Structure 1
Amino acid sequence: MPTVDFEEHRPMLLGLAYRLLGSMWDAEDVVQEAWLRWQGIDRSEIREPRGFLVTVVSRLALDQLRSARVKREAYTGPWLPEPVLTAEAGPLDTAELRDTVSYATLHMMEKLSPPERAVFVLREAFELPYDEIAEIVGSSVANARQMHHRASARVTEGRDRFRPSSEDHAKLLMKFMDAAAGGDLSALTDLFHEDVVAWNDGGGKVRAALRPIIGRRKVLAFLEGLISRYEFTEARVVDVNGGPAIWTRVGEGHQLVVIDFRDGVIRDIYTMLNPDKLEHVRPRRSADL
Protein backbone atom coordinates (compact mmCIF):
# COMPACT_ATOMS: atom_id res chain seq x y z
CA MET A 1 0.00 0.00 0.00
CA PRO A 2 1.29 3.51 -0.83
CA THR A 3 0.50 4.91 2.60
CA VAL A 4 2.33 2.02 4.26
CA ASP A 5 5.38 2.73 2.07
CA PHE A 6 5.45 6.36 3.14
CA GLU A 7 4.86 5.71 6.86
CA GLU A 8 7.63 3.12 6.81
CA HIS A 9 10.06 5.83 5.71
CA ARG A 10 8.64 8.77 7.70
CA PRO A 11 11.09 8.58 10.67
CA MET A 12 14.06 8.48 8.31
CA LEU A 13 12.66 11.36 6.24
CA LEU A 14 12.09 13.46 9.36
CA GLY A 15 15.65 12.79 10.44
CA LEU A 16 16.94 13.83 7.02
CA ALA A 17 14.89 17.03 6.89
CA TYR A 18 15.85 17.93 10.46
CA ARG A 19 19.57 17.60 9.71
CA LEU A 20 19.15 19.77 6.63
CA LEU A 21 17.09 22.48 8.34
CA GLY A 22 18.05 22.44 12.03
CA SER A 23 14.38 22.78 12.94
CA MET A 24 11.93 20.00 13.65
CA TRP A 25 8.97 22.30 12.98
CA ASP A 26 10.29 23.00 9.48
CA ALA A 27 11.23 19.33 9.01
CA GLU A 28 7.66 18.26 9.79
CA ASP A 29 6.33 20.76 7.23
CA VAL A 30 8.70 19.43 4.57
CA VAL A 31 7.78 15.80 5.24
CA GLN A 32 4.08 16.66 5.13
CA GLU A 33 4.56 18.34 1.75
CA ALA A 34 6.44 15.26 0.55
CA TRP A 35 3.50 13.10 1.66
CA LEU A 36 1.09 15.28 -0.34
CA ARG A 37 3.26 14.90 -3.43
CA TRP A 38 3.48 11.15 -2.83
CA GLN A 39 -0.32 11.00 -2.78
CA GLY A 40 -0.57 12.88 -6.05
CA ILE A 41 1.73 10.83 -8.28
CA ASP A 42 1.40 7.56 -10.16
CA ARG A 43 3.27 5.34 -7.70
CA SER A 44 3.24 2.35 -10.03
CA GLU A 45 6.14 4.02 -11.87
CA ILE A 46 8.23 4.44 -8.70
CA ARG A 47 10.55 1.45 -8.46
CA GLU A 48 12.42 2.63 -5.36
CA PRO A 49 10.16 4.57 -2.96
CA ARG A 50 12.95 5.31 -0.48
CA GLY A 51 15.21 6.89 -3.08
CA PHE A 52 12.35 8.87 -4.58
CA LEU A 53 11.24 10.21 -1.19
CA VAL A 54 14.81 11.09 -0.13
CA THR A 55 15.13 13.12 -3.33
CA VAL A 56 11.81 14.91 -2.80
CA VAL A 57 12.49 15.73 0.85
CA SER A 58 16.05 16.88 0.13
CA ARG A 59 14.96 19.25 -2.63
CA LEU A 60 12.08 20.64 -0.58
CA ALA A 61 14.41 21.17 2.38
CA LEU A 62 16.99 22.85 0.15
CA ASP A 63 14.37 25.32 -1.10
CA GLN A 64 13.25 26.04 2.44
CA LEU A 65 16.81 26.35 3.74
CA ARG A 66 17.64 28.99 1.14
CA SER A 67 14.75 31.19 2.27
CA ALA A 68 15.37 30.41 5.95
CA ARG A 69 18.93 31.74 5.75
CA VAL A 70 17.58 35.23 5.04
CA LYS A 71 15.30 35.07 8.07
CA ARG A 72 18.09 33.74 10.29
CA GLU A 73 20.33 36.66 9.33
CA ALA A 74 17.65 39.02 10.72
CA TYR A 75 17.13 36.91 13.87
CA THR A 76 17.49 38.63 17.26
CA GLY A 77 20.79 37.38 18.68
CA PRO A 78 22.54 34.15 17.65
CA TRP A 79 20.36 31.65 15.79
CA LEU A 80 20.85 28.19 17.25
CA PRO A 81 19.33 24.95 15.90
CA GLU A 82 16.10 23.82 17.50
CA PRO A 83 17.00 20.94 19.86
CA VAL A 84 14.99 17.72 19.79
CA LEU A 85 14.67 14.74 22.09
CA THR A 86 16.83 11.91 20.80
CA ALA A 87 13.82 9.60 20.58
CA GLU A 88 12.27 11.98 18.02
CA ALA A 89 15.41 12.44 15.90
CA GLY A 90 14.79 9.48 13.60
CA PRO A 91 16.92 6.33 13.25
CA LEU A 92 20.36 6.51 14.89
CA ASP A 93 21.63 3.10 13.86
CA THR A 94 25.14 4.21 12.88
CA ALA A 95 27.83 6.44 14.36
CA GLU A 96 27.42 8.74 11.36
CA LEU A 97 23.69 9.15 11.94
CA ARG A 98 24.34 9.96 15.61
CA ASP A 99 27.16 12.41 14.90
CA THR A 100 25.27 14.35 12.22
CA VAL A 101 22.34 14.92 14.58
CA SER A 102 24.53 16.08 17.47
CA TYR A 103 23.90 19.65 18.52
CA ALA A 104 27.48 20.79 17.91
CA THR A 105 27.44 19.33 14.38
CA LEU A 106 24.11 20.97 13.55
CA HIS A 107 25.52 24.28 14.76
CA MET A 108 28.67 23.88 12.69
CA MET A 109 26.55 23.04 9.62
CA GLU A 110 25.11 26.56 9.78
CA LYS A 111 28.43 27.69 8.24
CA LEU A 112 27.70 25.73 5.07
CA SER A 113 25.85 26.84 1.97
CA PRO A 114 22.56 24.99 1.40
CA PRO A 115 24.04 22.71 -1.33
CA GLU A 116 27.12 21.98 0.81
CA ARG A 117 24.89 21.08 3.75
CA ALA A 118 22.78 18.77 1.60
CA VAL A 119 25.85 17.04 0.16
CA PHE A 120 27.39 16.63 3.61
CA VAL A 121 24.23 15.17 5.19
CA LEU A 122 23.38 12.88 2.28
CA ARG A 123 26.91 11.51 2.11
CA GLU A 124 27.87 11.39 5.80
CA ALA A 125 24.58 10.33 7.39
CA PHE A 126 22.81 8.46 4.59
CA GLU A 127 25.81 7.21 2.57
CA LEU A 128 24.32 8.07 -0.81
CA PRO A 129 26.64 7.64 -3.82
CA TYR A 130 27.95 10.84 -5.34
CA ASP A 131 26.03 10.41 -8.60
CA GLU A 132 22.70 10.38 -6.72
CA ILE A 133 23.74 13.32 -4.55
CA ALA A 134 24.80 15.31 -7.62
CA GLU A 135 21.40 14.74 -9.21
CA ILE A 136 19.59 15.85 -6.06
CA VAL A 137 21.53 19.11 -5.64
CA GLY A 138 21.86 19.83 -9.37
CA SER A 139 25.63 19.64 -9.71
CA SER A 140 28.25 17.49 -11.40
CA VAL A 141 29.63 14.46 -9.60
CA ALA A 142 33.05 16.12 -9.38
CA ASN A 143 31.53 19.25 -7.84
CA ALA A 144 29.55 17.13 -5.35
CA ARG A 145 32.80 15.51 -4.24
CA GLN A 146 34.44 18.92 -3.82
CA MET A 147 31.49 20.23 -1.82
CA HIS A 148 31.64 17.22 0.47
CA HIS A 149 35.37 17.73 1.03
CA ARG A 150 34.90 21.43 1.85
CA ALA A 151 31.89 20.78 4.09
CA SER A 152 33.64 18.00 6.01
CA ALA A 153 36.64 20.23 6.68
CA ARG A 154 34.47 23.10 7.95
CA VAL A 155 32.22 20.96 10.14
CA THR A 156 35.07 19.09 11.79
CA GLU A 157 37.36 22.13 12.15
CA GLY A 158 38.71 22.33 15.70
CA ARG A 159 36.65 19.39 16.97
CA ASP A 160 38.09 16.41 18.81
CA ARG A 161 38.54 13.34 16.67
CA PHE A 162 37.49 11.10 19.57
CA ARG A 163 34.26 12.00 21.32
CA PRO A 164 33.67 11.31 25.02
CA SER A 165 31.34 8.51 26.02
CA SER A 166 27.78 9.39 27.03
CA GLU A 167 28.69 8.65 30.64
CA ASP A 168 31.72 10.97 30.60
CA HIS A 169 29.66 13.60 28.80
CA ALA A 170 26.92 13.43 31.43
CA LYS A 171 29.45 13.60 34.28
CA LEU A 172 31.11 16.71 32.89
CA LEU A 173 27.73 18.28 32.22
CA MET A 174 26.64 17.72 35.82
CA LYS A 175 29.96 19.08 37.14
CA PHE A 176 29.33 22.19 35.09
CA MET A 177 25.77 22.62 36.36
CA ASP A 178 26.73 21.94 39.99
CA ALA A 179 29.58 24.43 39.83
CA ALA A 180 27.43 27.04 38.11
CA ALA A 181 24.51 26.60 40.49
CA GLY A 182 26.87 26.81 43.47
CA GLY A 183 28.74 29.80 42.13
CA ASP A 184 32.03 27.87 42.27
CA LEU A 185 34.04 29.91 39.78
CA SER A 186 37.31 28.11 40.49
CA ALA A 187 35.72 24.79 39.54
CA LEU A 188 34.27 26.35 36.39
CA THR A 189 37.69 27.70 35.44
CA ASP A 190 39.09 24.17 35.48
CA LEU A 191 36.22 22.89 33.32
CA PHE A 192 36.53 25.53 30.58
CA HIS A 193 38.73 25.60 27.52
CA GLU A 194 40.70 28.83 27.25
CA ASP A 195 38.69 29.73 24.12
CA VAL A 196 35.30 28.62 25.44
CA VAL A 197 32.30 30.25 23.75
CA ALA A 198 28.84 30.72 25.28
CA TRP A 199 25.97 30.88 22.77
CA ASN A 200 22.54 32.05 23.95
CA ASP A 201 19.35 31.96 21.88
CA GLY A 202 16.45 33.97 23.23
CA GLY A 203 15.05 34.82 19.81
CA GLY A 204 13.84 38.19 21.10
CA LYS A 205 11.25 36.33 23.17
CA VAL A 206 13.24 36.30 26.43
CA ARG A 207 16.29 38.19 27.62
CA ALA A 208 19.55 36.67 26.39
CA ALA A 209 23.02 37.78 25.30
CA LEU A 210 22.81 39.17 21.77
CA ARG A 211 26.32 38.08 20.79
CA PRO A 212 28.47 35.02 21.48
CA ILE A 213 30.58 35.41 24.62
CA ILE A 214 34.15 34.39 23.81
CA GLY A 215 36.98 33.42 26.13
CA ARG A 216 37.22 31.88 29.59
CA ARG A 217 37.38 35.19 31.48
CA LYS A 218 34.36 36.72 29.76
CA VAL A 219 32.28 33.54 30.04
CA LEU A 220 33.06 33.29 33.76
CA ALA A 221 32.05 36.91 34.29
CA PHE A 222 28.84 36.35 32.33
CA LEU A 223 27.92 33.27 34.37
CA GLU A 224 28.75 35.05 37.61
CA GLY A 225 26.29 37.78 36.66
CA LEU A 226 23.58 35.22 35.84
CA ILE A 227 24.11 33.32 39.09
CA SER A 228 23.79 36.50 41.14
CA ARG A 229 20.61 37.53 39.33
CA TYR A 230 18.63 34.33 38.78
CA GLU A 231 17.71 31.17 40.65
CA PHE A 232 18.24 27.91 38.75
CA THR A 233 15.93 25.10 39.91
CA GLU A 234 14.44 21.77 38.80
CA ALA A 235 17.58 20.77 36.88
CA ARG A 236 17.38 17.37 35.21
CA VAL A 237 19.24 15.46 32.53
CA VAL A 238 17.44 14.88 29.24
CA ASP A 239 18.60 12.94 26.17
CA VAL A 240 18.79 15.49 23.37
CA ASN A 241 20.29 15.17 19.87
CA GLY A 242 21.98 11.91 20.76
CA GLY A 243 23.55 13.10 24.01
CA PRO A 244 22.83 14.43 27.50
CA ALA A 245 21.66 17.99 28.12
CA ILE A 246 20.36 19.89 31.14
CA TRP A 247 16.79 21.14 31.35
CA THR A 248 16.29 23.67 34.12
CA ARG A 249 13.91 26.36 35.31
CA VAL A 250 15.27 29.91 35.32
CA GLY A 251 12.98 32.32 37.12
CA GLU A 252 9.61 32.00 35.40
CA GLY A 253 10.91 30.27 32.28
CA HIS A 254 13.01 27.28 31.25
CA GLN A 255 16.25 26.71 29.39
CA LEU A 256 18.16 23.85 27.84
CA VAL A 257 21.96 23.70 28.18
CA VAL A 258 24.11 21.63 25.81
CA ILE A 259 27.91 21.50 26.01
CA ASP A 260 30.60 20.45 23.56
CA PHE A 261 34.20 19.49 24.26
CA ARG A 262 37.72 19.98 23.07
CA ASP A 263 40.74 18.40 24.73
CA GLY A 264 38.54 17.00 27.51
CA VAL A 265 37.18 20.40 28.64
CA ILE A 266 34.17 22.49 27.68
CA ARG A 267 34.68 24.36 24.40
CA ASP A 268 31.10 25.50 23.65
CA ILE A 269 28.05 26.13 25.82
CA TYR A 270 24.75 26.29 23.94
CA THR A 271 21.83 27.70 25.93
CA MET A 272 18.38 27.62 24.38
CA LEU A 273 15.92 30.02 26.02
CA ASN A 274 13.57 30.78 23.13
CA PRO A 275 10.32 29.10 24.28
CA ASP A 276 9.30 28.43 20.67
CA LYS A 277 12.35 26.17 20.27
CA LEU A 278 11.88 24.26 23.52
CA GLU A 279 8.67 22.42 22.67
CA HIS A 280 10.46 19.36 21.23
CA VAL A 281 12.65 18.90 24.31
CA ARG A 282 10.19 19.59 27.13
CA PRO A 283 10.71 16.56 29.40
CA ARG A 284 7.89 14.38 30.60
CA ARG A 285 7.73 13.60 34.28
CA SER A 286 8.11 9.89 33.62
CA ALA A 287 11.45 10.53 31.87
CA ASP A 288 12.99 12.57 34.64
CA LEU A 289 16.31 11.42 36.03
Structure 2
Amino acid sequence: MGDELLAAEFEANRGRLRGVAYRMLGSAAEADDAVQETWLRLNRTGGDTVDNLPAWLTTVIGRVCLDMLRSRAARREEPPPDSDLQALDDPERDALLADSLGAALLVVLETLTPAERLAFVLHDLFAVSFEEISVVVGRSPAAARQLASRARRRVQGGSPHGAADAARQREIVDAFLGASRGGDFEGLLTLLDPDVVVRMDDVEPRPRSGGGAEWVARFFTGKAQAAMPATIDGVAGALVQKPHGQRLALCFTVAGDRIIAIDVIRNPDESIVIELLN
Protein backbone atom coordinates (compact mmCIF):
# COMPACT_ATOMS: atom_id res chain seq x y z
CA MET A 1 0.00 0.00 0.00
CA GLY A 2 1.43 3.38 -0.99
CA ASP A 3 2.29 5.98 1.66
CA GLU A 4 -0.43 8.40 0.55
CA LEU A 5 -3.12 5.72 0.46
CA LEU A 6 -2.01 4.39 3.85
CA ALA A 7 -2.17 7.88 5.35
CA ALA A 8 -5.60 8.48 3.84
CA GLU A 9 -6.93 5.18 5.20
CA PHE A 10 -5.59 6.05 8.64
CA GLU A 11 -7.14 9.53 8.59
CA ALA A 12 -10.50 7.96 7.75
CA ASN A 13 -10.25 6.02 11.03
CA ARG A 14 -8.65 8.74 13.18
CA GLY A 15 -11.86 10.05 14.75
CA ARG A 16 -12.96 6.62 15.92
CA LEU A 17 -9.50 5.78 17.24
CA ARG A 18 -9.38 9.05 19.15
CA GLY A 19 -12.79 8.32 20.63
CA VAL A 20 -11.65 4.90 21.83
CA ALA A 21 -8.43 6.30 23.28
CA TYR A 22 -10.13 9.21 25.03
CA ARG A 23 -12.65 6.98 26.76
CA MET A 24 -9.89 4.57 27.71
CA LEU A 25 -7.46 7.16 29.02
CA GLY A 26 -9.64 10.10 30.09
CA SER A 27 -7.19 12.57 28.61
CA ALA A 28 -7.22 14.19 25.19
CA ALA A 29 -3.46 14.68 25.25
CA GLU A 30 -2.83 11.02 26.07
CA ALA A 31 -5.43 10.00 23.48
CA ASP A 32 -3.47 11.94 20.86
CA ASP A 33 -0.30 10.16 21.97
CA ALA A 34 -2.02 6.78 21.61
CA VAL A 35 -3.31 7.65 18.14
CA GLN A 36 0.16 8.78 17.09
CA GLU A 37 1.72 5.55 18.38
CA THR A 38 -0.91 3.58 16.45
CA TRP A 39 0.01 5.46 13.26
CA LEU A 40 3.70 4.75 13.82
CA ARG A 41 3.00 1.03 14.19
CA LEU A 42 0.87 1.02 11.06
CA ASN A 43 3.52 2.94 9.15
CA ARG A 44 6.14 0.40 10.15
CA THR A 45 4.03 -2.46 8.79
CA GLY A 46 3.30 -0.67 5.53
CA GLY A 47 -0.25 -2.01 5.70
CA ASP A 48 0.36 -4.69 3.07
CA THR A 49 -0.31 -7.58 5.45
CA VAL A 50 -3.43 -6.01 7.01
CA ASP A 51 -6.66 -7.54 5.70
CA ASN A 52 -9.13 -5.53 7.82
CA LEU A 53 -7.60 -2.16 8.61
CA PRO A 54 -10.31 -0.78 10.98
CA ALA A 55 -10.21 -3.97 13.08
CA TRP A 56 -6.40 -3.98 13.06
CA LEU A 57 -6.27 -0.34 14.16
CA THR A 58 -8.79 -0.97 16.93
CA THR A 59 -6.72 -3.89 18.20
CA VAL A 60 -3.51 -1.86 18.14
CA ILE A 61 -4.90 1.23 19.86
CA GLY A 62 -6.54 -1.02 22.44
CA ARG A 63 -3.15 -2.55 23.24
CA VAL A 64 -1.48 0.85 23.32
CA CYS A 65 -4.09 2.21 25.74
CA LEU A 66 -3.91 -0.93 27.85
CA ASP A 67 -0.15 -0.51 28.18
CA MET A 68 -0.56 3.16 29.09
CA LEU A 69 -3.19 2.37 31.74
CA ARG A 70 -1.04 -0.37 33.26
CA SER A 71 1.98 1.92 33.29
CA ARG A 72 -0.08 4.63 34.96
CA ALA A 73 -1.33 2.16 37.58
CA ALA A 74 2.20 0.92 38.26
CA ARG A 75 3.30 4.50 38.89
CA ARG A 76 0.07 5.16 40.82
CA GLU A 77 -0.53 8.26 38.77
CA GLU A 78 -3.83 10.07 38.32
CA PRO A 79 -4.96 10.83 34.77
CA PRO A 80 -4.13 14.34 33.53
CA PRO A 81 -6.81 16.96 34.27
CA ASP A 82 -9.72 16.93 31.87
CA SER A 83 -9.11 20.58 30.97
CA ASP A 84 -6.96 19.30 28.14
CA LEU A 85 -10.22 18.66 26.30
CA GLN A 86 -9.55 22.13 24.95
CA ALA A 87 -6.85 20.53 22.83
CA LEU A 88 -9.56 18.85 20.76
CA ASP A 89 -11.15 20.48 17.75
CA ASP A 90 -14.44 22.08 18.74
CA PRO A 91 -16.78 19.64 16.91
CA GLU A 92 -15.06 16.60 18.38
CA ARG A 93 -14.94 18.11 21.87
CA ASP A 94 -18.64 18.95 21.69
CA ALA A 95 -19.46 15.43 20.52
CA LEU A 96 -17.50 13.90 23.38
CA LEU A 97 -19.10 16.11 26.00
CA ALA A 98 -22.59 15.52 24.59
CA ASP A 99 -22.12 11.75 24.52
CA SER A 100 -24.38 10.14 27.13
CA LEU A 101 -21.42 7.94 28.08
CA GLY A 102 -18.83 10.69 27.74
CA ALA A 103 -16.70 12.67 30.13
CA ALA A 104 -18.86 12.22 33.24
CA LEU A 105 -18.48 8.46 33.03
CA LEU A 106 -14.70 8.69 33.14
CA VAL A 107 -14.86 9.11 36.91
CA VAL A 108 -16.56 5.72 37.15
CA LEU A 109 -14.27 4.12 34.60
CA GLU A 110 -11.28 5.04 36.73
CA THR A 111 -12.47 2.48 39.30
CA LEU A 112 -12.08 -0.39 36.79
CA THR A 113 -9.00 -2.45 36.14
CA PRO A 114 -7.30 -1.70 32.79
CA ALA A 115 -8.61 -4.95 31.24
CA GLU A 116 -12.16 -4.34 32.50
CA ARG A 117 -12.09 -0.80 31.21
CA LEU A 118 -10.87 -1.88 27.79
CA ALA A 119 -13.46 -4.66 27.47
CA PHE A 120 -16.29 -2.34 28.50
CA VAL A 121 -15.24 0.56 26.29
CA LEU A 122 -14.59 -1.51 23.19
CA HIS A 123 -17.70 -3.68 23.49
CA ASP A 124 -20.36 -1.45 25.02
CA LEU A 125 -19.34 1.86 23.46
CA PHE A 126 -17.83 0.77 20.16
CA ALA A 127 -19.52 -2.60 19.45
CA VAL A 128 -16.24 -4.51 19.11
CA SER A 129 -16.80 -8.27 19.33
CA PHE A 130 -15.48 -10.29 22.25
CA GLU A 131 -13.42 -12.34 19.80
CA GLU A 132 -11.52 -9.18 18.82
CA ILE A 133 -11.28 -7.97 22.43
CA SER A 134 -9.87 -11.33 23.52
CA VAL A 135 -6.90 -10.78 21.20
CA VAL A 136 -6.16 -7.42 22.82
CA VAL A 137 -6.38 -8.60 26.45
CA GLY A 138 -4.82 -12.01 25.81
CA ARG A 139 -7.75 -14.01 27.19
CA SER A 140 -10.52 -16.19 25.80
CA PRO A 141 -13.68 -14.58 24.35
CA ALA A 142 -15.64 -15.89 27.35
CA ALA A 143 -13.18 -14.27 29.75
CA ALA A 144 -13.34 -11.01 27.78
CA ARG A 145 -17.13 -11.10 28.05
CA GLN A 146 -16.84 -11.62 31.79
CA LEU A 147 -14.52 -8.61 32.06
CA ALA A 148 -17.09 -6.45 30.26
CA SER A 149 -19.89 -7.85 32.42
CA ARG A 150 -18.07 -7.03 35.67
CA ALA A 151 -17.28 -3.57 34.37
CA ARG A 152 -20.89 -3.02 33.32
CA ARG A 153 -22.18 -3.89 36.80
CA ARG A 154 -19.75 -1.46 38.41
CA VAL A 155 -20.57 1.26 35.90
CA GLN A 156 -24.28 0.82 36.50
CA GLY A 157 -23.71 0.97 40.24
CA GLY A 158 -21.84 4.25 39.92
CA SER A 159 -23.55 5.68 36.87
CA PRO A 160 -23.84 9.48 36.75
CA HIS A 161 -27.19 8.99 34.99
CA GLY A 162 -29.11 7.84 38.05
CA ALA A 163 -29.20 4.12 37.51
CA ALA A 164 -32.22 2.55 39.16
CA ASP A 165 -31.70 0.40 42.25
CA ALA A 166 -32.06 -3.37 41.97
CA ALA A 167 -35.70 -3.48 43.09
CA ARG A 168 -36.74 -0.76 40.66
CA GLN A 169 -34.78 -2.41 37.84
CA ARG A 170 -36.63 -5.67 38.51
CA GLU A 171 -39.99 -3.89 38.53
CA ILE A 172 -39.34 -2.19 35.19
CA VAL A 173 -38.00 -5.34 33.52
CA ASP A 174 -40.98 -7.38 34.73
CA ALA A 175 -43.32 -4.70 33.38
CA PHE A 176 -41.48 -4.86 30.06
CA LEU A 177 -41.80 -8.64 29.87
CA GLY A 178 -45.51 -8.42 30.67
CA ALA A 179 -46.11 -5.77 28.02
CA SER A 180 -44.14 -7.81 25.50
CA ARG A 181 -46.17 -10.98 26.18
CA GLY A 182 -49.43 -9.06 26.00
CA GLY A 183 -48.59 -7.32 22.72
CA ASP A 184 -48.85 -3.92 24.43
CA PHE A 185 -46.88 -1.68 22.04
CA GLU A 186 -47.78 1.55 23.87
CA GLY A 187 -46.92 -0.01 27.21
CA LEU A 188 -43.49 -0.97 25.90
CA LEU A 189 -42.91 2.57 24.66
CA THR A 190 -43.51 4.00 28.13
CA LEU A 191 -40.76 1.77 29.53
CA LEU A 192 -38.14 2.49 26.87
CA ASP A 193 -35.73 5.40 26.64
CA PRO A 194 -36.10 7.17 23.26
CA ASP A 195 -32.51 6.16 22.41
CA VAL A 196 -32.67 2.58 23.72
CA VAL A 197 -30.42 0.12 21.91
CA VAL A 198 -30.51 -3.65 21.44
CA ARG A 199 -27.14 -5.39 21.15
CA MET A 200 -26.81 -9.03 20.14
CA ASP A 201 -23.57 -10.79 21.05
CA ASP A 202 -21.56 -13.72 19.80
CA VAL A 203 -23.84 -14.92 17.02
CA GLU A 204 -22.65 -15.87 13.55
CA PRO A 205 -23.99 -14.65 11.27
CA ARG A 206 -24.57 -11.63 13.49
CA PRO A 207 -28.29 -10.83 13.69
CA ARG A 208 -29.63 -7.38 13.18
CA SER A 209 -29.25 -5.05 16.13
CA GLY A 210 -31.19 -1.84 16.38
CA GLY A 211 -32.12 1.17 18.41
CA GLY A 212 -34.80 3.68 19.19
CA ALA A 213 -37.88 3.12 21.29
CA GLU A 214 -40.27 2.45 18.40
CA TRP A 215 -37.92 -0.06 16.74
CA VAL A 216 -37.38 -1.94 19.99
CA ALA A 217 -41.08 -1.86 20.92
CA ARG A 218 -42.04 -3.28 17.52
CA PHE A 219 -39.34 -5.93 17.79
CA PHE A 220 -40.56 -7.16 21.19
CA THR A 221 -44.33 -6.74 20.78
CA GLY A 222 -46.01 -10.12 21.21
CA LYS A 223 -42.81 -11.89 22.20
CA ALA A 224 -41.25 -12.92 25.52
CA GLN A 225 -43.87 -15.65 25.88
CA ALA A 226 -41.26 -18.08 27.18
CA ALA A 227 -39.11 -15.51 29.02
CA MET A 228 -38.38 -16.38 32.64
CA PRO A 229 -37.35 -13.56 35.00
CA ALA A 230 -33.72 -13.92 36.02
CA THR A 231 -30.66 -12.02 37.07
CA ILE A 232 -27.85 -12.18 34.51
CA ASP A 233 -24.45 -11.45 36.05
CA GLY A 234 -26.28 -9.60 38.80
CA VAL A 235 -28.31 -7.45 36.39
CA ALA A 236 -32.11 -7.62 35.99
CA GLY A 237 -32.91 -9.76 32.98
CA ALA A 238 -34.67 -12.80 31.62
CA LEU A 239 -33.83 -16.23 30.25
CA VAL A 240 -35.58 -17.61 27.18
CA GLN A 241 -35.48 -21.38 26.67
CA LYS A 242 -35.80 -22.15 22.97
CA PRO A 243 -36.34 -25.48 21.14
CA HIS A 244 -33.44 -27.90 20.81
CA GLY A 245 -31.81 -26.66 23.99
CA GLN A 246 -30.98 -23.15 22.78
CA ARG A 247 -31.13 -20.32 25.29
CA LEU A 248 -31.19 -16.53 25.12
CA ALA A 249 -30.11 -14.35 28.04
CA LEU A 250 -31.57 -10.84 28.04
CA CYS A 251 -29.71 -8.25 30.14
CA PHE A 252 -31.44 -4.92 30.74
CA THR A 253 -29.77 -1.62 31.62
CA VAL A 254 -32.17 0.71 33.43
CA ALA A 255 -31.62 4.40 34.17
CA GLY A 256 -34.08 7.11 35.05
CA ASP A 257 -36.94 4.57 35.20
CA ARG A 258 -36.42 3.73 31.54
CA ILE A 259 -34.65 0.86 29.78
CA ILE A 260 -31.67 2.29 27.93
CA ALA A 261 -30.10 -0.94 26.62
CA ILE A 262 -30.92 -4.62 26.13
CA ASP A 263 -28.06 -7.06 25.61
CA VAL A 264 -28.99 -10.40 24.06
CA ILE A 265 -26.58 -13.31 24.56
CA ARG A 266 -27.28 -16.54 22.71
CA ASN A 267 -26.41 -19.80 24.48
CA PRO A 268 -24.59 -18.14 27.42
CA ASP A 269 -21.73 -20.25 28.73
CA GLU A 270 -20.57 -20.86 32.28
CA SER A 271 -18.87 -17.46 32.42
CA ILE A 272 -22.35 -15.87 32.61
CA VAL A 273 -23.93 -16.20 36.06
CA ILE A 274 -27.68 -16.78 35.69
CA GLU A 275 -30.13 -16.99 38.58
CA LEU A 276 -33.76 -17.79 37.79
CA LEU A 277 -36.35 -16.02 39.92
CA ASN A 278 -39.62 -17.45 41.19
TM-score by length of 2: 0.51
CA distance in 1, matches of 2:94, 2:136: 21
CA distance in 2, matches of 1:48, 1:74: 35
Q: What's the offset of the Cα at 1:137?
A: 1.1
Secondary structure of the 1:15 match is: helix
Q: What's the offset of the Cα at 1:98?
A: 2.2
In the alignment, what sits opposite 1:48?
52
In the alignment, what sits opposite 2:249?
none
**Residues 1:51 and 1:29: Cα distance change in structure 2 (over 3 Å):** same
**Residues 1:145 and 1:38: Cα distance change in structure 2 (over 3 Å):** same
CA distance in 2, matches of 1:150, 1:32: 30
Q: What's the offset of the Cα at 1:110?
A: 0.4
2:16 maps to a residue whose letter is M
**Residues 1:3 and 1:151: Cα distance change in structure 2 (over 3 Å):** same
**CA displacement, residues 37-81 of structure 1 (integer Å, 9 cap, x when unaligned):** 11111312212111111111110110011111244x355xxx675
Return structure 1 stretches of 4+ with deviation > 3 angstroms. Answer: 89-92
Q: Identify which of 12, 19, 23 aligns with 1:19.
A: 23
Larger RCO, structures 1/2 (Cα 8 Å, 6+ apart):
1
Report if the CA contact (8 A) 2:112-2:151 is conserved: yes
CA distance in 1, matches of 2:67, 2:31: 12
In the alignment, what sits opposite 1:104?
104
Matched, 1:140 2:140: yes
1:135 maps to a residue whose letter is V
CA distance in 2, matches of 1:8, 1:44: 17
Report if the CA contact (8 A) 2:6-2:46 is conserved: no
**Residues 1:49 and 1:91: Cα distance change in structure 2 (over 3 Å):** farther
What's the % identity of the aligned pairs? Answer: 36
Report if the CA contact (8 A) 2:108-2:158 is conserved: no
**Number of residue pairs matched?**
156
1:154 maps to a residue whose letter is R
CA distance in 2, matches of 1:149, 1:49: 27
Task: After TM superposition, list the pairs within 5 Å mapping 1:122-271 onto structure 2.
Answer: 122-159=122-159, 160-161=162-163
1:37 maps to a residue whose letter is R
CA distance in 1, matches of 2:66, 2:30: 11
* Unaligned runs of at least 5 residues, structure 1: 163-261, 265-289
In the alignment, what sits opposite 1:207?
none
Report if the CA contact (8 A) 1:11-1:90 is conserved: no
CA distance in 2, matches of 1:150, 1:19: 17
* Unaligned runs of at least 5 residues, structure 2: 165-254, 258-278
In the alignment, what sits opposite 1:121?
121
CA distance in 2, matches of 1:7, 1:36: 13
